[in-house]
C-alpha cells in the first residue's frame, strides 16, 4: 500500500461522510443510494428533485475525476447481460435487506442502528466468504 492510496482513501471517506451528513441535516434523509434511486420511480413527488440532483452528482463524479487528469482503470470481465442480471439481483437484495451498503454501512452505523450494524456485518461476512470461495476453491 502506498502513501497516496491511503490519502485518497481517507479523502474519499471524509467526502462520503460529509455528503451523508449534509443530506441528513438539510433534507432529513439518509444517503442510502438504493432508497434514493427507488424514490425516482413513479409516482414522482417533490423529493424527486433533490434525488435527481444527488444521482446526477454520482454519475458526473467519474467524468469529472477524469477531467482532473486522473486515470481510471476499468476492466469488465463480464458480459453486459451478466452485469444486468447482477444489477437486478443487487437491487432485489437491497429491497430485501431494507437498504444498501451505503445506507446501512455509512449512515446506519453512524446512527448506531442495530439493524444496520447487523446488516453491514452480514454484507462483510458474505463478501469475505465469496472472495475465499472464488479465489481459493474455484
Query: What is the C-alpha separation between 55 and 86, in angstroms, rounded?
Result: 20
User: SS3 helix, strand, coil % of the chain, rounded to 5?
Assistant: 75, 0, 25
pLDDT per residue as tens digits for the range 112-123:
999 999 999 998
Instruction: Show me where the domains of the chain are located.
Output: 3-137
pLDDT per residue as tens digits for the range 61-114:
888 888 888 777 777 888 999 999 998 898 888 888 888 887 888 888 888 999
Amino acid at each position: 500500500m502506498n502513501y497516496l492510496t491511503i490519502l485518497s482513501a481517507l479523502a474519499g471517506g471524509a467526502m462520503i461522510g460529509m455528503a451523508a451528513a449534509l443530506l441528513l441535516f438539510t433534507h432529513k434523509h439518509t444517503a442510502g443510494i438504493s432508497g434514493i434511486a427507488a424514490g425516482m420511480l413513479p409516482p414522482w413527488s417533490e423529493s424527486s428533485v433533490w434525488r435527481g440532483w444527488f444521482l446526477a452528482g454520482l454519475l458526473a463524479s467519474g467524468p469529472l475525476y477524469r477531467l482532473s487528469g486522473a486515470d481510471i482503470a476499468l476492466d469488465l470481465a463480464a458480459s453486459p447481460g451478466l452485469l444486468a442480471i447482477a444489477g437486478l439481483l443487487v437491487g432485489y437484495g437491497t429491497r430485501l435487506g431494507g437498504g444498501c451498503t451505503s445506507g446501512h454501512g455509512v449512515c446506519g452505523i453512524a446512527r448506531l442502528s442495530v439493524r444496520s450494524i447487523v446488516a453491514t456485518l452480514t454484507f462483510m461476512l458474505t463478501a469475505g466468504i465469496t472472495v475465499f470461495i472464488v479465489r481459493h476453491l474455484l
